[in-house]
Chains A and B, each alone.
Chain A
Amino acid sequence: MGLVARVVEEMGIPTVTVSTGRDITALVRPPRSLFVNFPMGNTFGRAGDGDMQTTILRAALDFAVTATEPGILVDYPEPWQDQFEYFAGETTPEAIARQKKK
């Protein structure tokens, strides 16, 4: 996804990437990255919490205006309320076999 943002930007359309994977985003380096330290899948917050979703979306839009340095990565200041871990998904032998086939 970061690669796509880089190409879009290179071709003349500004982009802002809203990421929950800080290390990956730092490597790939999209033009403008807002890192939100929330679980992957909850980039804009919780289900049913429209205010939080709007706040983060607005932060991304405002960042697109204020960012001045190519490759900049900033941290959204609010933390997720609970501890969370890496989501490993399906790791059953069947799931592994299915993924290997492809």
Chain B
Amino acid sequence: MEPIRYVDALNNKYGAMGFPPYQWSENDTAPWTPLTKPLADCTVAMLVSGGISHCTAAPFDPDARNDHRVDEVDPATPTDQYQIHDSYYDHTDAGRDLNCIFPVDRLAELAASGEIGAVAGRHWSGFMGRTYNRSKVINESAPAFTEELRADGVDLLIAIPA
């Protein structure tokens, strides 16, 4: 089937609520850092934006705007120890099996079998949608986040928008 047109769907939804049309960033080019190591030597981290937090942490606010919160996620946490608070997507399946959207167990298996070098010391959850102050993401939140990845020796980040 044809991919869902989210730009139209989201603007119809929020336009009906009285919000102005959301202007996604449009880029003609992209930055590039080559992956120079084989996967078997790479430390890999994941970042998900689906309102997923440890049960011991505060829930994400599904109605928030400009929420720059990003949580550290302990990769060793069992997948039934998470809560999901997000109104953007149907997380019925993810609530039953977190790996549908945030495949922490699957990545751990690939590390155990040697397909990747290691799972990073921390995964990440945050950068929820409806961010209107994007210059703050570009100039503050994302660079600070990148420093955390560097501290963990991350060679590759898997980013999972939701």
Interface centre among A46, A64, A83 (most CB of B within 10 A): A64
Given A1-B47, A41-B100, A44-B100, verify A65-B4 contact (CB < 8 Å). no
Closest to B99 in A: A53
Residues of chain B contacted by A83 (CB below 8 angstroms) = 1
A14 to B, closest residue via Cβ: B35
Chain A hits for B88, CB < 8 A:
40, 87, 89
Q: Digit string of A1-30 for contact with B (CB within 8 Å is 1, else 0)?
A: 111111111111111111111111101111
Asked if B106 and A50 sit within 8 Å, CB to CB, the answer is yes
B63-75 toward A: CB 8 Å interface, digit per residue (1/0)?
Answer: 1110000000000
The main secondary structure of chain B at its interface with chain A is: loop
| B residues in contact with A102, CB < 8 Å | 61, 63-65
CB-CB contacts of B28-59 with A at 8 A, as 1s and 0s?
A: 11111111001100001001011000000000
Docked pose: A98 CA to B99 CA in angstroms: 30
| A85 beta carbon closer than 8 Å to chain B | yes
The total of chain B residues at the interface (CB under 8 A) is 74
Find out whether the CB atom of B138 lies under 8 angstroms from the CB atom of A3: yes
Counting CB contacts under 8 A, is B160 at the interface?
Answer: yes
| A98 to B143 CA separation, bound complex (whole angstroms) | 31
Complex contact B161–A1 (CB within 8 A) = yes
Contact of B109 with A43 in the complex, beta carbons under 8 Å: no
Q: Is A77 an interface residue (CB 8 A)?
A: no
Question: Given the complex of chains A and B, what is the CA–CA distance between A24 and B7 in angstroms?
Answer: 6
Question: Cβ of B155 and Cβ of A14 under 8 Å apart?
Answer: yes
Q: Which chain A residues lie closer than 8 Å to B106 at the CB level?
A: 44, 50, 53-54, 57
Q: Please give the distance in Å from B150's CB to the nearest CB on chain A.
A: 7
Bound Cα distance from A88 to B17, whole angstroms: 12
A6-B27, A16-B159, A89-B87 are known contacts. Are A58 and B110 too (CB-CB below 8 A)?
yes
> Would A41 and B89 count as touching, CB distance under 8 A?
yes
Q: Is the CB of B7 within 8 A of A57?
A: no
Chain A residues closer than 8 Å to B90, beta-carbon distance: 39-41, 87
A27 touches B100 (CB 8 A): no
**What 8 A-B pairs are tightest by C-beta distance, nearest first?**
A71-B30, A7-B142, A1-B161, A47-B97, A70-B32, A40-B89, A41-B89, A22-B3
- Beyond known contacts A2-B161, A41-B100, A61-B156: 10 more, CB 8 A cutoff: A1-B160, A18-B160, A27-B27, A44-B100, A46-B100, A53-B100, A61-B110, A89-B88, A90-B87, A102-B64
